[in-house]
Copies of this chain bind each other. A is one copy, B any other.
Amino acid sequence: MKEQIKSYLNRYVHFNEEEIHTFCDFLSEKKFDKKEFLLKEGQVCHHYFFISSGLIRQFYIDEKGNEKIIQFAIENWWTTNIDSFTNQVPSALNIQALEKTTAYIISKKSLENLFISLPKTERLFRIITEKTLIAHQRRNYFFMKKKSKERYQHLMEHIPEFAQRVPQYMLASYLEITPEYLSEIRKKE
């Protein structure tokens, strides 16, 4: 755990060896099988998850019963349902492992204690939250503004791993296009 966390943390804020050790003490490791849920709609989200290995998706079920995927997350990404986690209210969305996944998890209470023990983690989580907000905003902007082909190209340019690791029908759901149209775009590449 320590080496991965150290290299991740130092991208954003400098932590010395002792601080990294303290940081790791607040995390626990949890393994999820492929298709296992990290969080189900209706449950309160008790953890912030750092994906050590694997791949997860966040999705809603819309009023017609369709899955709407809003996020994929891979190694070295943090994920949670920030509303459910922060406000300790039932989650409106699901988080599910798409591959065998190992996550380092921290509870809300532990995170609050971590902020007190290591105040510079406030900076880290301020930056992580900004990055997540920017990703949400870009996704909304792209989906409002860009044609479906451009959305696909943007995704491929920024996170090409997804195309290899995520089933085609899920990529289509994320891009809000039909699987047939996605397959057509990919054939023309």
What is the CA–CA distance of A15 and B174 in the complex, to the nearest angstrom?
43
Residue in B68, B123, B132, B141 whose beta carbon sits within 8 Å of that of A133 in the complex:
B132
Closest-by-CB residue of B relative to A147 is B63
Contact yes or no, A140 B70, CB < 8 A: yes
Q: How far apart sit A121 and B188, CA to CA, in the bound complex (Å)?
A: 50
Shortest Cβ distance from A93 into chain B, in angstroms? 7
Tell me whether B63 and A138 are in contact (CB under 8 A): no
A141 near B87 with CB under 8 A, answer no
Bits for A56-78, please: 1 = Cβ < 8 Å to B, else 0.
00001111000010100000000
A144 and B60: CB pair below 8 A? Answer: yes
Q: In the bound complex, do residue A87 and residue B119 qualify as a contact, i.e. CB atoms below 8 Å apart?
A: no
| Secondary structure of the A contact surface, majority rule | helix
- Find the residue from A61, A63, A120 having the highest chain B CB count within 10 A: A63
Contact partners of A132 in chain B: CB under 8 A: 133
Is A125's CB within 8 Å of the partner chain B? yes
The residues of B that contact A70 with a CB separation of less than 8 Å are 140
* Pairwise interchain contact A141-B63, C-beta atoms closer than 8 A: no
What 9 pairs between A and B have smallest CB-CB spacing? Answer: A126-B126, A122-B122, A129-B129, A83-B134, A133-B133, A122-B123, A92-B141, A136-B136, A68-B144
Excluding A60-B145, A119-B122, A120-B122, 8 further A-B contacts by CB distance (< 8 Å) are A60-B144, A61-B145, A62-B144, A63-B147, A82-B130, A83-B138, A129-B130, A133-B136
